[in-house]
Amino acid sequence: MCGRYAQSRNVHQLQLAFDLPEQALGEESDPRAWPPLEELDPDYNISPGRPVQAVFGPPPQGGAPGAAGPRSLHTLRWGLVPSWAKDRNIGYRMINARGETVADKPAFRSAFRHRRCLLPADAYYEWQLLNKDGTAEASTSPATDPGHRKRKAKAAKKPFSIHYQGDEPLAMAGIFERWRDPEVAEDDPAAWVWSCAVITTEAAPELAHIHERMPVIMPADDWAAWLDPASGPDDLSHLLDSTPVERFSVDEVSTDVNSIKNNRPDLLEPLPDGGGEEADTLF
């Protein structure tokens, strides 16, 4: 899974990193048709429900002639709210979409076909389950280990930060959706919630000792194909298998990251001796 991540770049830095044109901030666009762009404070411990930045492909043409527009940056809510949902809080349960089933699940399939995005990150966090003696627990899947979920809730956990070896931002594969709050007037901007989910996949062997899942990370060479609305099922399936794990660095970090109340740059700093105190619960 991907349940926390860090993103500290401002709008200008993200535009440079993703080769995006400059955009005006605020409610310059109709929120019913396209999400706005807001400047966000650096967030070193992003949790579900928080606002996040997302890179979109060309906007819908609506049948209009001419070349497609450029990529753009937008501000979304992390936790996808399907268009048919009755309550926006369902998004807290939909922060991730499994790559193996995203094309078929009713909550995700339409977004996967038509509304894909990239979610920039400095790093994402993952927690390794520990045995009672402090050693790492063997990585298992809930599908093959019925007691995994209950044991996970009670177990001690060791947090890690996973990022590129250099200063390049990760580009997590995402999908996005638009939802209208039926209790708010349609012409009120607050009626429209634009939300997203991170696509995950089975962890690569290099990371499986930490967790059985990982987010799909798109290398720069694949950004255009991922954001292209014309990309078909076969193309997308291939892209979901292209995470450049060989470029990752993995650092054990302080258990301060366990609490969403902590939000500081040093949460990303590796522990000096590669070890730390026993972790508390995740949330």
Buried b (16+ CB within 10 A) or exposed e, 148-168: beeebeebbbbbbbbbbeeee
3-state secondary structure of 256: helix
> Is 63's pLDDT higher than 70?
no
- Model pLDDT for residues 3-36, shown as the tens digit of each residue: 999 999 999 999 999 999 998 887 556 777 788 8
In tens, the pLDDT along 172-196 reads: 999 999 999 988 888 888 889 999 9
Nearest CA to 107 among 88, 86, 83?
Answer: 83
pLDDT value, residue 177: 96
> Does residue 64 have a pLDDT over 80?
no
- Kindly give, in sequence order, each residue whose CB lies less than 8 Å from that of residue 113, ignoring residues fewer than 6 positions away: 103
Print burial letters for 45-72: b (CB count within 10 Å at least 16), e (below 16).
Answer: bbbbebebbbbbbeeeeeeeeeeeeebb
pLDDT at 282: 38
**Which pLDDT score, from 0 to 100, does residue 184 have?**
87
pLDDT, mean of residues 89-114: 96
As a residue count, the chain comes to: 283
Q: What would the pLDDT profile of 228-283 be if each residue is shown by its tens digit?
A: 989 998 999 999 999 999 999 999 999 999 999 999 999 999 998 755 443 333 33
